[in-house]
Copies of this chain bind each other. A is one copy, B any other.
Amino acid sequence: MISNSAQFELMSEFRAKCKKHNLKMTPQRVTIYQELVKAKDHPGCEDIFERVHKKFPDISLDTVYRTLSTFADIGVINQVEGYGEAKRYDPNTGRHHHLRCLKCNSIVDFQDTTFNNLRIPKSVEKSFVVNNIKVILEGLCKECAKK
């Protein structure tokens, strides 16, 4: 769950960033953004299309692809790293990390202060400008580990 005020805050940041990048506020964009914000599963374009489609039967798949890609470009959402299957997106642009199940492909968020505060190695700093550090833990989720 997410509080109403946090919801509102998020929405006005969204509107502000869109305006900054000259993106018009269309019902498609609002709906797609809200649907992604609700999602906890780092969904792909088809997933979002299916969810949005219920409320908005005329939306096209292309619009979902285009819109999510645009949102990622302007930084209101993030694309998730993966292994070359369909692209997946993350509404959470704050600092956090991922658990990836290698069997069912679930991606779950987690927080860790150690991981948040990793130092960039000196040797790297000389040859590379680091924008962000990602830590990914790969393995098996509880359900998949049971089998």
Chain A residues at the B interface, C-beta cutoff of 8 Å: 79, 81-87, 99, 101-102, 108, 110, 112, 114-115, 118-121, 123-124, 127-142, 145
Contacts and interface: CB of A to CB of B under 8 A. Distances in A.
Contact of A137 (B82, B102, B128): B128
A102 B114 contact: no
Contacts of A123: 110, 112
Nearest to A81: B81
A115 to B, nearest CB: 7
Most chain-B CB neighbours within 10 Å: which of A101, A128, A132, A141? A128
Number of copies: 2
Contacts of A132: 137-139
B137 A110 contact: no
Nearest to A88: B84
A81 B138 CA distance: 11
Contact of A99 (B108, B128, B139): B128
14 contacts: A79-B84, A81-B82, A84-B87, A99-B128, A99-B130, A108-B128, A110-B123, A114-B118, A114-B121, A115-B121, A128-B141, A129-B140, A130-B138, A134-B136
